[in-house]
Amino acid sequence: MALLERAQALEAAGHDILHLEVGEPDFPCAAPIMDAARRALDRGQTRYTPAAGLPALREAIARDYRDRLGASVSPAQVVVTPGASGALQLIMGALLNAGDEVLLCDPGYPCNRQFVTLFGGVPRPLPLRPEDGFRLTADTLEAAWTERTRVAMVASPDNPTGNRTDGAGLARLARDCRARGGTLVVDEIYQGLCYGAPADTVLRHGDEAVVINSFSKYFGMTGWRLGWLVAPQAWVPAIERLAQNWFLAPSTVAQHAAMAAFGEESLAIAEQRRQLLDRRRTLLMEALPGMGLPVVGGAEGAFYLYLDVSAHTDDSFAFCRDLLERTGVALTPGLDFGAHHHPERYLRLAYTCEESRLHEALERLRAYLERP
């Protein structure tokens, strides 16, 4: 956060900053989605909707699971939320009592902790090992599970490692959690952004996991604040009541806009963008290891590379700060994502700017690393 503010301050002061720290696609929101938003405005669709979202959107989401992903999901299992953020709050609120433990991947998405502590839950690390490529294994899960564990969380594809966990494997982990009396929550916010393998969902392989998703990343709708969760149908009335009390409803215009996200044209645009991201990823993965910056973690999804910077520093935060000041290249230190297995060795690069800028960043980085 301190570095993000510094990057913005430097930019405001006229410096040319290369933003490789931003967890947000750089593409504009696709035209069919924008057009659907305009139509909603023209129809004056700006009043409160039901707390769990417009029935038509819940149906569209369920249909997309069936048609595109081959998973059977009922609209009654879908709750539309203010971003994946809202979905994370709801599911933790529905599942946790004070003192319950929640296992969180380390490294992982930093806000997860806050949704756990919000309900008096206790976040516990699932320390992912570099030698496992920072992948969650059944062993790690088993070793971390205690009598007080209620929930384990994993993202696939993952932030910050870009790891994709195979859907069948996730379904097995979900069954393990269920067998122990707990729940696996799978954050699939980067689901559509997969490289080298088709997108998948744990829901295609079983119905034990709860799934979090969002229109933010694959559909480039970050600022619209719209996501969803898929839970066992029996849990939905309780989740809906929480949503009614805390949020009243998700944004109406955003919901009408999102209805166009699953259309053919929008999906074609999303696919084009996925290919562009894949090119950027390839370009970086070819260049970085030769600069003494090996890519650790799978980099099979999302738009992140997790890099080992220990050949150049024993403090990736200081490295990021110095790099920013001297070259204008902004990156995120590993410390932002966890505390185990030496986060000070790592940093995250988000390839959310265009190729010419990535080349520029690589050049500045190379010059910086080769400075006498």
Ligand X SMILES: Cc1ncc(COP(=O)(O)O)c(C=O)c1O
- List contacts with ligand X (CB under 6 A): 23, 83-85, 109, 155, 159, 187, 189, 214, 216, 222, 227, 248
Tokens standing for residue 28: 């504009």
Q: Are 186 and 212 in contact (CB under 8 A)?
A: yes
Q: Does 259 bind its own copies (CB under 8 A)?
A: no
Q: Does 335 bind its own copies (CB under 8 A)?
A: no
Q: Among residue numbers 141 through 180, which ones bind its own copies (CB under 8 A)?
A: none
Query: Closer to its own copies at the Cβ: 222 or 310?
Result: 222
Query: Closer to ligand X at the Cβ: 140 or 159?
Result: 159
Beta-strand ranges (E) seen in the chain are: 18-19, 78-81, 101-106, 122-127, 149-155, 183-187, 210-214, 227-230, 295-296, 304-308, 329-330, 332-333, 346-350
Q: Does 97 bind its own copies (CB under 8 A)?
A: no
| Nearest distance from C-beta of residue 189 to its own copies, angstroms | 12
Query: Closer to its own copies at the Cβ: 70 or 237?
Result: 237
- 3 state DSSP class of 368: helix
| Nearest distance from C-beta of residue 171 to its own copies, angstroms | 29
- DSSP assignment of 316-357, as one string? HHHHHHHHHHHH-EE-EEGGGG-SSS-GGGEEEEE--S-HHH
Question: What one-letter code names the amino acid at 113?
Answer: R
Q: Does 46 bind its own copies (CB under 8 A)?
A: yes
- DSSP assignment of 296-317, as one string? ES---BTTEEEEE-TTT-S-HH
Q: Which of 98, 131, 198, 372 binds its own copies (CB under 8 A)?
A: 98
Q: Does 223 bind its own copies (CB under 8 A)?
A: yes
Checking DSSP bridges between strand 101-106 and strand 149-155, what pairing results, if any?
parallel
Q: How far out from the chain centre does Cα 76 lie? A: 24
Site string for its own copies, 101-120 (x = CB under 8 A): ----------x--xx--xxx
Residues that bind its own copies (CB under 8 A): 1, 24, 28-29, 34, 37-38, 41, 44-49, 82-83, 85-86, 89, 93, 98, 111, 114-115, 118-120, 220-225, 242, 244-254
